[in-house]
Amino acid sequence: MLVGLPKEIKNHEYRVGLTPASVRELVHHGHQVLVQTGAGAAIGLSDDQYLAAGATLAQDAAQVFAVADMIVKVKEPQAHECAMLRPGQMLYTYLHLAPDPAQTAALVKSGAVCIAYETITGPGGGLPLLAPMSEVAGRMAVQAGAAHLEKSKGGMGVLLGGVPGVSAAHVVILGAGVVGTHALQMAVGMGARVTVLDKNVDRLRQLDLVFGNRINTLYSTAQSVEEAVLDAELVVGGVLIPGAAAPKLVTRSMVSRMKKGAVVVDVAIDQGGCFETSHATTHAEPTFVVDGVVHYCVANMPGAVARTSTFALNNATIAHALTLADQGWRQALKDNPDLKNGLNVAHGQVTYEAVASTLGYAYVPADSLLN
C-alpha cells in the first residue's frame, strides 16, 4: 500500500502523523510511504531522516493526496484538503466531527473512508488513541491556566500555589477521566487547592485513595458544578462523550457570576466545549473574555508541545496504521471491533451513530459496508 504523509496546515500545528520510526515500520511491512517535504521539520524531523527510514519525498500535499491509498494525519483535514480526497481513499486522523458540520459534509461528499483516532476503542473500553493527547492537554491546561491568571495575560493576578501566608488558588476540574486526572496531577504539584467533579463515584474513590486530603472530590450535579465554579480561580473542562458533542456543564449565567479575572480552560473544545460561552481559538490568539472571565479554548492544545505530542501519538497510532495497510480497511475492521469503532464516514455514509444523531444524517452501521 502507498501511505501518504502531508504536512499539517492548521494554525500553529507542528505535529506530524508519522515519525521516521513509524515510516520504517511501514516500509518493513512492505509498504511505500510518500512524505511531503518539510512535514516534520518544525519539530526536528528532517527530510533526510525520512529518506533514511525508506520514504520518498513529494514537493507538495497535492502530490501526496493524488497518489496515496491511505493518508495519515494528526488534525482534521482543512477544507481544501477534504477537496483533495477521493472515493475509497483512506483517511486516518483525528476528526471530531460532531461539532463540525462543514467538515462532515465535505468528507461525506468526498466518498473517502474516514477513520477517527478519537473513537477507536481499546479492549477495556477506553480510547487509547485519544489518551496520549488527553494526557498532554490535561497537563497543559493547568500550565495555560496558571499563565493566564497573571495580570499581564488578563487574569486576576493570582499565583496558582500561593505563598506562605497567602491562599493558593482554587482549581476546579470537570471530569475525572484522562484529561482531568493529568490536570489534577499538575494542579496538586503546583500547590493549588483542587476540586474534581465526576459522575463516576468509583473513579472519585480511586483518586481519593491516591491523593487523599490533597484534593476534594464531588459528585457532579448542576448544583455542585455551580457552587464549585463560582468559587474557582481556574476551571478546567475535561468532559467527554465519545464521538458526540460535549455536554454544556457551565452555563452562560454561571460564567457571568464567576470571579472577575478567573480563567476557564475548555479542553473539550474539540467536541464543541463544555462551557456555553466557549468557541474555538488558536495558538495565535488563544483567549477571549466573556463577562470578565478569560477563556482559553485552543482546539489543538497539544500542538504547542508538538515534538512530545508527535512521539506520544505515534506510539498509539502506528499499530492500527500497520493493520490498515497490511489488510485493507474492510478486513482490518472486520477482524477488530475496536478499530471498527473508528469508522466515522465511508463512501458517502455516516457510520458513527453519535455523529449521525448530532448532525442529522442517516446512520449507516459500519457492518453494512463491511459485508
Q: Which residues are catalytic?
A: 96, 270
**Residue 297 amino acid letter:** C
Q: How far apart are the first and last CA of the chain?
A: 22
Secondary structure string (H, E, C) spanning 257-272: CCCCCCEEEEHHHHHC
Phi-psi region of 91 (alpha: psi -120 to 50; beta: other; left: phi over 0): beta
* Grid coordinates of 107: 468528507
- Phi, psi (degrees; rounded to nearest 5) at 3: -105, 130
Helix (H) or strand (E) holding 81: helix 79-82
Q: CB pairs under 8 A, 24+ apart, for 55-63?
A: 55/5, 55/20, 55/23, 55/27, 56/32, 58/4, 58/34, 60/36, 61/6, 61/7, 61/9, 61/36, 63/34, 63/36
CA 61 remoteness from chain centre: 23
Q: In 222-352, where does DSSP find H-type helix? A: 222-231, 252-256, 306-327, 329-335, 337-340
CA distance 350 to 366: 9
